[in-house]
Amino acid sequence: MISRVLSAELAEHAGRRVTIAGWVHRRRHLKSVSFLVVRDRAGLAQVVHGHPGPARTAGDHTGNHTGGYAESHVESHVEGAPAAGGGLPGEESVVRVTGTVTLQPQAPGGVELTEPEIEVLAEPGTPPPFDLYRPVVPASLPTILDHAPVALRHPRLRAPLEISAASVAGFREALDRLGFTEIHTPKIVGSATESGANVFGIDYFGRPAYLAQSPQFYKQAMVGVFERVYEVGPVFRAEPHDTVRHLAQYTSLDAELGFVTDHRDVMAVLRQAVAGMIESVRHRAAPAVGLLGVALPEVPAEIPAVHFTEAQRLTSSDEPDLAPAQERWLSEWALREHGSEFLFVTGYPMAKRPFYTHPDPARPGYSNGFDLLFRGLELVTGGQRLHRYEDYTAALAARGEPAAAYEGYLQAFRYGMPPHGGFALGLERWTARLTGAANIRETTAFPRDLHRLSP
């Protein structure tokens, strides 16, 4: 490894000569002095080249230092137009800089590198398509997505991905604590797992196959092995919807557990998983949370729940499913009435749930299935499943589906399965709601949608 210290650690080395490495985030050339701002994985570091004069406050990184990537406020301070070059490497050059760590209250982290020796490790072929040093990227979302490999280097565009990573770490941690085992299931499958409509077909050595819409069948089967399992993985939906909340590939945080009384046991585990995700974001992604001004939600000890029929009554609807506008209304209602940003809607009509859903024994036509709404959006779907073989064959027959197509899956039930249930949380929707991103495409590095297959 190239031996270096990270930008965030510089203050610990005050007075010493150290080496940093990263990308040139900003190059500025004033009358008597030039600045390089170097970006590494931990934040920004200021490098001063030349002899700072008395008025050398110009263009420093003043202002709120909310994390490693505090915004620069250079524009208003620069004396004259920033000159090109000044002999220093241009923006996005990869550099190694050795210099003396010198106290400078106006620099990021309160220190800067002086008397630098600068070595260029790689020079960009062309300048970046937009200025990455500006507080907000001056480009539209499609332009940003077209240039994702470079655009994501911007601290604000990278921040949702940090929050997403911290969320996944928290999900794993919470479920590990509860005795779950992480599994990895096939993403190439022989039959559709959810509804047949939005499935991508592929050619599998000359045979028809599909990209998995969910790990549903495999996570259920693995309850027969481990009792409690989870998976973090990609799922594929041939979504014809060009909306701000649908992707053709997204990351599904799935869990499934055996020996439940009913769906409420699953809801309690989901509550713990969500609380763990938020705690992890709070601790692991503090700079990103600060930079984006994210308000992390409280997770109530018991998340309020309304039955589907009650949700219909509240929203004066007789539709068999909830429309996005109703979900938004119900979320506002939950905040007003229960002070909660989360709301469970339970007991969706059986007709609207997949064949593996367990009916509510007390209410014919309704299910032991639930959704979790978060800040106006369906974030999670889950429920209790059927667990007896004969119930599966009957459910498939009732829907006119041939049991033979599900033979591999049905094996689990033929050989005995406990009452069980589970849920799946859409990672990108979660991150979007958490960060306030208007479009789910801002929360994943390389989104796949109706139109986008590259980069």
- In 43-93 the beta strands, taken as DSSP E runs, fall at 43-50
β-pairing, 342-346 vs 305-307, is: parallel
Q: Does 423 bind ligand AMO (CB under 6 A)?
A: yes
Task: Name the residue type at position 155.
Answer: P
- Residue 108 or 422: the one with the smaller Cβ distance to ligand AMO is 422
| Distance of closest approach, residue 372 Cβ to ligand AMO, in angstroms | 8
- Residue 88 or 424: the one with the smaller Cβ distance to ligand AMO is 424
- Residue 10 or 373: the one with the smaller Cβ distance to ligand AMO is 373
| Distance of closest approach, residue 92 Cβ to ligand AMO, in angstroms | 32
Q: Does 380 bind ligand AMO (CB under 6 A)?
A: yes
- Residue 78 or 165: the one with the smaller Cβ distance to ligand AMO is 165
Q: Is 178 exposed, middle or buried (0-12, 13-18, 19+ CB in 10 A)?
A: middle
Q: Is 117 exposed, middle or buried (0-12, 13-18, 19+ CB in 10 A)?
A: exposed
- Residue 50 or 354: the one with the smaller Cβ distance to ligand AMO is 354
Contact indicator for 15, 100 with CB cutoff of 8 Å:
yes
| Distance of closest approach, residue 252 Cβ to ligand AMO, in angstroms | 6
Q: Residue 25 belongs to what H/E stretch?
A: strand 17-29
| Distance of closest approach, residue 404 Cβ to ligand AMO, in angstroms | 22
Q: Which residue has the closest beta carbon to ligand AMO?
A: 426
| Distance of closest approach, residue 398 Cβ to ligand AMO, in angstroms | 19
C-alpha distances (whole Å) from 360 to each of 233, 262, 306, 398, 410 are: 30, 9, 15, 17, 22
CA dist., res. 371 & res. 347, Å (int): 9
**Three-state secondary structure call for residue 70:** coil
* Binding segment (CB under 6 A) for ligand AMO, from list 3-11, 39-47, 63-71, 423-431: 423-431
Binding string, residues 382-421; x marks residues near ligand AMO by CB under 6 A? xx--------------------------------------
Buried b / exposed e along 31-58 (16+ C-beta atoms within 10 A): eebbbbbbbbebbbbbbbbbebeeebeb
Binding string, residues 68-97; x marks residues near ligand AMO by CB under 6 A? ------------------------------
**Three-state secondary structure call for residue 348:** coil
* Span 182-211, contacts to ligand AMO by CB under 6 A: 194
Binds ligand AMO (CB under 6 A): choice among 56, 61, 154, 237: 237
- Residue 220 or 280: the one with the smaller Cβ distance to ligand AMO is 220
Binds ligand AMO (CB under 6 A): choice among 116, 224, 287, 426: 426
| Distance of closest approach, residue 428 Cβ to ligand AMO, in angstroms | 6
Binds ligand AMO (CB under 6 A): choice among 185, 216, 443, 444: 216
Q: Does 173 bind ligand AMO (CB under 6 A)?
A: no
Helices (H) and strands (E) in the chain, counts: 11, 16
- Residue 83 or 351: the one with the smaller Cβ distance to ligand AMO is 351
Q: Residue 203 belongs to what H/E stretch?
A: strand 201-204
| Distance of closest approach, residue 75 Cβ to ligand AMO, in angstroms | 37
**How many other CB atoms are found less than 10 A from the CB of residue 115?**
12
**Three-state secondary structure call for residue 341:** coil
β-pairing, 181-182 vs 228-236, is: parallel
Cα angle value 426/431/434 (rounded, 5°): 125
Binds ligand AMO (CB under 6 A): choice among 61, 158, 246, 387: 246
Q: Does 424 bind ligand AMO (CB under 6 A)?
A: yes
- Residue 146 or 378: the one with the smaller Cβ distance to ligand AMO is 378
List of residues contacting ligand AMO (CB under 6 A): 194, 214, 216, 237, 239, 246-247, 250, 252, 378-383, 422-424, 426, 428-429
